[in-house]
Amino acid sequence: MRRAAILAAAACIAVLAAGQARATNECRGLQVCVPVAGPWVVAPSWSEVQFQLACPAHFIVAGLDAELSARGIDITFQGGLGSPVNPGITTSSSAVFTGRLLSGRAATFRPHIGCVPASGGGERYPTAYHPLPPSRPLAPTMLQYDVAPGVHRYVARCPSQRHLLQATHAVGFFTAVPPAGALVRSIAVKQTVAGGLVRLTVRAGALPGVRAVVQVDLVCA
């Protein structure tokens, strides 16, 4: 009887350990840091996907990390040129993650950022002559929609006086662990671009107690 109780307790501990996500490192080495976790973003097998994650007001990104549901996903982020490589020069108040599925079927990744107070970021000094420096990467204009079951249509556009260069979209699930394949397949998004307008048709099945989002990133010049 006692042995059975010990085995049952060990099984419970194993289940709990399996359900816990690994510790992430976006705040490692930072004395003051606010961690921000995104949803599990679907990385489709046919293209790359981008997802923008923002700090609270008056904070900038100082650390990044990501969790993967499977091997074979390449994760990068968009950074600015400058020296030294540090918060305020390389990063800003948000980070754009790019996920590329290199092998296997559709998988998911969860982006993480560590945010620090936005004071004292780096500064560039003038040189003896004044060539044009590289500008900061074009930060996408981000629009995010909560997904509900059914068919929904959205139209996105760039702000006034800007024109559209590129548009991407991503599907994310706010779950503690990577979403199951059936949940990932329950949302389908069709995107078309014409005349500077990005039109999305979102078809969603049942989402039992799960918050799902579709994020649209517009690169506007």
Q: Where are the beta strands (DSSP E) in 30-93?
A: 34-37, 40-43, 48-54, 59-68, 73-77
Residues 6+ apart with CB under 8 A from 91: 60, 61, 62, 79, 80
Model confidence, pTM:
0.75
Confidence of residue 22 (pLDDT cuts 50, 70, 90): low
**pLDDT the model gives residue 138:** 55
Confidence of residue 140 (pLDDT cuts 50, 70, 90): low
- Residue 141, amino acid: T
**pLDDT the model gives residue 191:** 95
Does 7 score more than 50 pLDDT? no
Measured distance CA(84)–CA(66) in Å, rounded? 24
Cis peptide bond N-terminal to 84, omega within 30: yes
Measured distance CA(182)–CA(6) in Å, rounded? 35
pLDDT in tens, 69-119: 888 888 888 887 776 767 877 788 899 998 888 776 778 999 999 999 987
Q: Are 161 and 196 in contact (CB under 8 A)?
A: no
Does 185 score more than 70 pLDDT? yes
Q: Which one is predicted more confidently, 220 or 191?
A: 191
pLDDT in tens, 28-51: 999 999 999 999 999 987 678 999
pLDDT in tens, 102-112: 776 778 999 99
Confidence of residue 150 (pLDDT cuts 50, 70, 90): very high
- Of 81, 193, 187, the C-alpha closest to 137 is 81
Does 136 score more than 60 pLDDT? no
**pLDDT the model gives residue 155:** 95
**Beta bridge partners of residue 219, listed in sequence order:** 166
Q: Which one is predicted more confidently, 7 or 96?
A: 96
